[in-house]
């Protein structure tokens, strides 16, 4: 097979008139039509001078055309770099420059704002809008709808996904064809996907969950997707009767449970609900099963590894756990200081090894060496334990990540911004539990002596510099931050002391 990922996901569908995408406006796109759309994009990228290994950075809305850019990159040997559509120009600038992207495709409404970003990094700038229009679409319009697929090996780089680190510098996880393909094929088998499945797809396609899990699994199985731009309660409820499966973050399910229309009758045709990207409360599990008769299947993955574990399709889906290692994947719990394997029931560092594990961080050999052991195990930074029945429990995050609405938020990035502001001596950013979003961001700061930081001004700065989901919901000024004997801020004390601070939002 000359290009294993392309042939498995896309190439086999030439001439297949079966439906691939069902759109909210009632239109449908067949597998064959989509493959031809992707081929036109591949020809456009090639004619612009891009060659094998070049990076294609995109910050665009979810659309069939956006998905076709991903397919085009796979077919032409380019490296796909999707960016959260909510990122500000200040955030995007680092990703485009660090990756050395040859082309940057953005929303048309942000073209003027992002022109400087492209110019600084030497990238070509094109646009692609949610409705499929844009300068990039114009370039594809008269291109051939077939493309000579570039030969690639399973170990070749196919995607670069940035996952911010707690040190403030973002890390580009390098994912190979085999990483993506092995994971998708395993999940199709494990979750029993077939060409008869219709996936209700309301996830964004700029990260692993919506792109490499939901989309790739559907493509491997030969199924179709109800392709919704974003989660909208009315749209989800309207389309559920036409679906057989759904993947979402916990927020999707808590919001559905708040609507009386969501019941057993509405979900009678469904065979599977999957949840990931953030912990699902046991309470949500119970309410969901009582309301619908379905038990949500929870799994565990991350940017660097795709999916690692899953609760069973057939068998007990145990609330509060993320199930068992996927076939071919190994999980062990180790002492974070010594690396020694711990006994079942003991909490320690989660390490994972398997064909799903990435090859390293882009241009960061030292960090790669720190987190990828010589024996192939990746030190995830998550804490967990394995119970006597073999289920994995996630206990916390060594890397201090906040997960809000399924999005990872790294406190250090926000703290660095806070610490730069007039009147702020130091800061700590924590996540507090929220019934809908899972967690929300709270900023805690200590003022310079004799100064009183203007919280309204800080809020304006956040809006200009950070994506909305990263912006602190509350800012608190306290006399000093609690520290241990080594001088490290004790965020566990802050979380406990201010656990009721969210009541201010009511």
Q: Does residue 69 have a pLDDT over 60?
A: yes
291-336 tens-digit pLDDT: 999 999 999 999 999 999 999 999 999 998 999 999 999 999 999 8
* C-alpha span between 501 and 454 (Å, rounded): 19
Q: Which residues is 307 bridged to in the sheet?
A: 301
Name the helix (H) or strand (E) containing 360: strand 360-361
Residue 91's pLDDT is what?
87
Residue 221's pLDDT is what?
97
**Residue with the two structure tokens 């493309």:** 147
Residue 406's pLDDT is what?
87
Q: Does residue 156 have a pLDDT over 90?
A: yes
Q: What's domain 1-152's superfamily in CATH? A: ANL, N-terminal domain (3.40.50.12780)
Q: How many residues does the chain have?
A: 506
Tokens of 33: 């039509």
79-113 tens-digit pLDDT: 999 998 888 898 899 999 999 999 999 999 999 99
Indicate the domain borders of the chain.
1-152, 402-505
From residue 329, give the alpha-carbon distance in Å to each of 176, 378, 393.
Answer: 16, 11, 16
Tokens of 225: 């997707």
* C-alpha span between 23 and 30 (Å, rounded): 11
Residues 241 and 265: beta-carbon distance below 8 Å: no
Q: Which one of 3.30.70.270, 3.30.300.30, 2.40.50.140, 3.40.50.920 gives the CATH number of domain 402-505?
A: 3.30.300.30
* C-alpha span between 22 and 228 (Å, rounded): 9
Top pLDDT among 401 and 49 is at 49
Q: Do domains 1-152 and 402-505 have the same CATH topology?
A: no
Tokens of 91: 């955030």
Q: What does the buried/exposed string (b/e) look like for 286-310 if buried means 16 or more CB atoms within 10 Å of the residue's CB? A: eebeebbebbbbbbbbbbbbbbbbb
Q: Which residues is 334 bridged to in the sheet?
A: 341, 349
State what percent of residues in the chain have pLDDT above 70: 96
């Amino acid at each position: 097979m000359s290009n294993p990922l392309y042939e498995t996901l896309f190439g086999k569908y030439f001439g297949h008139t079966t439906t691939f995408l069902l759109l909210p406006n009632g239109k449908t796109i067949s597998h064959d039509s989509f493959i031809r759309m992707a081929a036109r994009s591949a020809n456009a990228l090639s004619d612009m001078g891009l060659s094998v290994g070049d990076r294609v950075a995109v910050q665009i809305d979810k659309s069939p055309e956006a998905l076709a850019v991903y397919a085009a990159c796979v077919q032409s040997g380019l490296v796909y770099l999707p960016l959260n559509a909510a990122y500000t120009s200040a955030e995007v600038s680092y990703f485009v420059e660090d990756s050395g992207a040859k082309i940057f495709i953005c929303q048309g409404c942000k073209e003027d704002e992002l022109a400087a970003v492209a110019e600084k990094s030497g990238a070509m700038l094109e646009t692609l809008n949610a409705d499929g229009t844009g300068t990039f679409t114009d370039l594809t319009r008269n291109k051939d709808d077939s493309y000579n697929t570039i030969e690639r090996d399973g170990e070749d780089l196919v995607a670069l996904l940035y996952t911010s680190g707690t040190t403030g510098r973002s890390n580009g996880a390098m994912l190979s064809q085999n990483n993506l393909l092995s994971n998708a094929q395993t999940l199709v088998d494990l979750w029993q996907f077939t060409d008869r499945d219709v996936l209700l797809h309301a996830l964004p396609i700029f990260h692993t969950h919506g792109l490499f899990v939901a989309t790739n699994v559907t493509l491997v199985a030969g199924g179709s997707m109800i392709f919704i731009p974003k989660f909208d309660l009315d749209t989800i409820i309207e389309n559920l009767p036409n679906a057989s499966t759904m993947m979402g973050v916990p927020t999707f399910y808590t919001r559905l449970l708040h609507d009386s229309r969501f019941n057993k009758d509405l979900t009678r045709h469904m065979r599977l609900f999957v949840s990931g990207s953030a912990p699902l409360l046991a309470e949500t599990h119970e309410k969901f099963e009582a309301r619908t008769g379905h038990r949500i299947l929870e799994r565990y993955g991350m940017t660097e590894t795709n999916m690692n574990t899953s609760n069973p399709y057939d068998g007990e889906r145990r609330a509060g756990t993320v199930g068992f290692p996927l076939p071919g994947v190994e999980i062990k719990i180790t002492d974070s200081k010594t690396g020694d394997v711990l006994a079942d029931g003991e909490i320690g560092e989660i390490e994972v090894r398997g064909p799903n594990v990435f090859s390293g961080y882009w241009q960061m050999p030292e960090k790669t060496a720190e987190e990828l052991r010589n024996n192939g195990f990746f030190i995830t930074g998550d804490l967990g334990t394995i119970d006597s029945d073999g289920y994995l429990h996630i206990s916390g995050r060594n890397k201090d990540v906040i997960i809000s609405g399924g999005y990872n938020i790294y406190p250090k990035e926000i703290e660095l911004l806070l610490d730069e502001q007039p009147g702020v001596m130091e800061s700590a950013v924590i996540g507090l539990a929220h019934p809908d979003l899972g967690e929300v961001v709270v900023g805690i700061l200590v003022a310079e002596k004799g100064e009183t930081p203007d919280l309204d001004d800080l809020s304006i700065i956040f809006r200009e510099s950070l994506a909305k989901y990263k912006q602190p919901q509350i800012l608190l000024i306290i006399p000093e931050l609690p520290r241990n004997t080594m001088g490290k801020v004790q965020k566990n004390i802050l979380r406990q002391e201010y656990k009721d601070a969210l009541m201010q939002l009511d």
